[in-house]
Structure 1
Amino acid sequence: MTVVHTVPDLVALQQRAADRAAARAGGADRLRGHIVCDGLVRIFKTDGVEVVALQGLDLVVDRGELLAIVGASGSGKSTMLNILSGLDVPTAGIARVAGYDLLTMSAKKRLRYRRHTVGFVWQQTTRNLLSYLTAAENVALPMRLAGRRGRAARRRSAELLDLVGVGHCADRRPAAMSGGEQQRCAVAVAVANDPEVLFADEPTGELDENTAAEVFAALRTINAELGVTVVVVTHDQAVATQVRRTVAIRDGRTASEVRRSARLGADGVEELVTEEYAVLDRTGRMQLPAAFVDALALRDRVRLTLEPDHVQVFPGFAGERKEEP
């Protein structure tokens, strides 16, 4: 499915992010595979019962990309985010971020990874900031824990707050800020130690539409100006449509992708083209979109026909008598 829109400033921001990311990496030849999941499995055991949260998930994220992850509750997206941020350990498979192997990482290396390589923004605003510190002090705290103190830390704190549009909140404690201001401060805190990757779990989930737009604008600014790879888990369709790539997770696997790219229209004006793809894993499995399954009442099995340039999918009982239950 392809949809064409007039191009906003999205394309320019994407190019700026890619340029900044290439500079951080030391060259454009290192833009591939900043985050890699291959056959990722996570099994939780509770009272002898096993729950498979991830069932062989595959995902590759480019350096400098701004990616949205969507999916219903229980699909596994938050589990994946916790693994990639170093808060949880996978059961099996491959999970690599910025060259770190998250399956075999030691506790000491995992702590350093969380302090220096990745940043994280929670949905709940109260989890992101310490209530007894000002915004500037909250941003400076990760730097102090990493051994950076004094004037340089204060200067970077002020620069980051200005970058996300809340420089006026520098001397305010969280209780004196709105929810949107708190979340933008949280973004500044998350990138205080100049991480390579920023993860955000439903960062706009508790905000109204206009405030959510301001928070997402802060994430886009961080991505474009600092070249930080940004992965956002969200239910917010307004957020999901403002990124180059949206990945949908269903039943613990990547199910589909929406990609957006620019091209010249017939009138010579640049347009943003939106295309949706099903994801094919290494064994040839894919998930048909739920809307397609419902529209054709597909159940149990389907028939496939190989054509020269495509594959046709038919209901399993098309042209034959369906047995009564």
Structure 2
Amino acid sequence: MTTTAENPVVPDLADLQRRAAQRAAERAGGQDRLRGHIVCDGLVRIFKTEGVEVVALQGLDLVIDRGELVAIVGASGSGKSTLLNILSGLDTPTAGIARVADYDLLALSARRRLRYRRHTVGFVWQQTGRNLLPYLTARENVELPMRLARRSGGGRARRRRADELLELVGVGYCADRRPGQLSGGEQQRCAVAVAVANDPEVLFADEPTGELDEATGAEVFAALRTINAELGVTVVVVTHDHAVADQVRRTVAIRDGRTASEVRRTARIGADGSTELVSEEYAVLDRTGRMQLPAPFVAALALRDRVRLDLAPDHVQVRPGDRTPDQNGSDA
């Protein structure tokens, strides 16, 4: 599905993407190391409680390149938060492949997992109260991860970096305030600064705008975009917020523990010089050739049980299994 519409923010989006790719290449030491920053292959997570097994992820495949800003969407229970917890080192997968940077997440010792969480990834929770310590100022909250990681440079260097990060996300004026003196949006932007204090390669955010109104949520997401563009950090956001999902180059939808579809957005210059945002939706084909048809397609054609496939020179036709090709079959 392709749609085009004029959008005055597209030039900014395209520029941010270019800057993010450039910073990511600089961090990686060259363009040849850009691909496959996050790799999931046949990822499985099974939870067992009182003899009952719940399969949260069932063979999920996903590749995210270095420097990308990706939104992951899906209904409650689809597995998106489970995926984020695994990639951030908060949970351990049952089977499959999960790799972030140079870390194999299925084979981490406790010591390497701690190092991974301190230095390689940052995390922002949905609940503002989980991101900041209430008895520390915003600056002290940003300095704390650096102190725990024993970053070199001393207190003056930590203070300078904390102030720089708070300015970068637009809350430099909050440096001496405690969380109780900040709005929800200010707290979340401070949380973004805390998450990147140790210069991680990847930033994960779980519904970072979920408790905020639309305008405040836009400010928080702008902070994530700035971090992505200015620092070259790969950013992965789990969200229900369509306003957020529509502002990234790539949105990945998860359904029933597998990647189901992707929307990719590109900025194109029209014949009259105007900039258009072009969105294209794709079904995701896994390594065994399986894919999930979008739910609206299934409903529109009343598909169930089995479907009829016909191979054409440049496409595949999908028809309800109880119809013959001459019964007005439709492409899907």
TM-score of the pair, normalised by structure 1: 0.97
Question: Residue deviations 1:3-53, cap 9 Å, x none?
Answer: 113334100000000000000001111110000000000000000111000
Provide the residue aligned with 1:9 in structure 2. Answer: 12
70, 75, 89: which is aligned to 1:72? 75
Provide the residue aligned with 1:123 in structure 2. Answer: 126
Provide the residue aligned with 1:222 in structure 2. Answer: 227
Task: Trace 1:100-249 onto structure 2 (pairs within 5 A).
Answer: 100-148=103-151, 149-249=154-254
Provide the residue aligned with 1:303 in structure 2. Answer: 308
Say which SS state the counterpart of residue 318 (structure 2) adopts. Answer: strand
Instruction: Confirm whether residue 46 of structure 1 aligns to residue 49 of structure 2.
Output: yes
Shift of 1:266: 2.8
Provide the residue aligned with 1:253 in structure 2. Answer: 258
1:32 partner amino acid:
R
CA distance in 1, matches of 2:58, 2:206: 20
TM-align CA RMSD? 1.0
Say which SS state the counterpart of residue 156 (structure 1) adopts. Answer: helix
CA distance in 2, matches of 1:284, 1:319: 24
CA distance in 1, matches of 2:259, 2:271: 35
CA distance in 2, matches of 1:174, 1:234: 24
CA distance in 2, matches of 1:276, 1:190: 31
**More deviation in 169-178 or 1-10?**
1-10
CA distance in 2, matches of 1:185, 1:116: 18
CA distance in 1, matches of 2:160, 2:22: 25
Question: Residue deviations 1:256-303, cap 9 Å, x none?
Answer: 000011223232433221100000001110000000001111111110
CA distance in 1, matches of 2:269, 2:196: 36
Say which SS state the counterpart of residue 3 (structure 1) adopts. Answer: strand
Say which SS state the counterpart of residue 255 (structure 1) adopts. Answer: strand
Provide the residue aligned with 1:323 in structure 2. Answer: none
1:217 partner amino acid:
A
Say which SS state the counterpart of residue 211 (structure 2) adopts. Answer: coil
1:119 partner amino acid:
G
Instruction: Confirm whether residue 277 of structure 1 aligns to residue 282 of structure 2.
Output: yes
CA distance in 2, matches of 1:272, 1:60: 23
2:200 partner amino acid:
P
23, 36, 60: which is aligned to 1:57? 60
Say which SS state the counterpart of residue 230 (structure 1) adopts. Answer: strand
1:247 partner amino acid:
V
CA distance in 1, matches of 2:114, 2:5: 44
Structure 2 unaligned regions, length at least 5:
326-332
Shift of 1:92: 0.3
Provide the residue aligned with 2:98 in structure 1. Answer: 95
What is the aligned residue count? Answer: 320
CA distance in 1, matches of 2:147, 2:269: 49
Shift of 1:238: 0.3
CA distance in 2, matches of 1:21, 1:101: 21
CA distance in 1, matches of 2:176, 2:268: 45
Structure 1 unaligned regions, length at least 5:
321-325
Shift of 1:99: 1.2
**More deviation in 267-276 or 18-27?**
267-276
**More deviation in 264-273 or 296-305?**
264-273
Task: State, as a whole percentage, how many aligned pairs show the same letter.
Answer: 84
Say which SS state the counterpart of residue 150 (structure 1) adopts. Answer: helix
**More deviation in 223-232 or 143-152?**
143-152
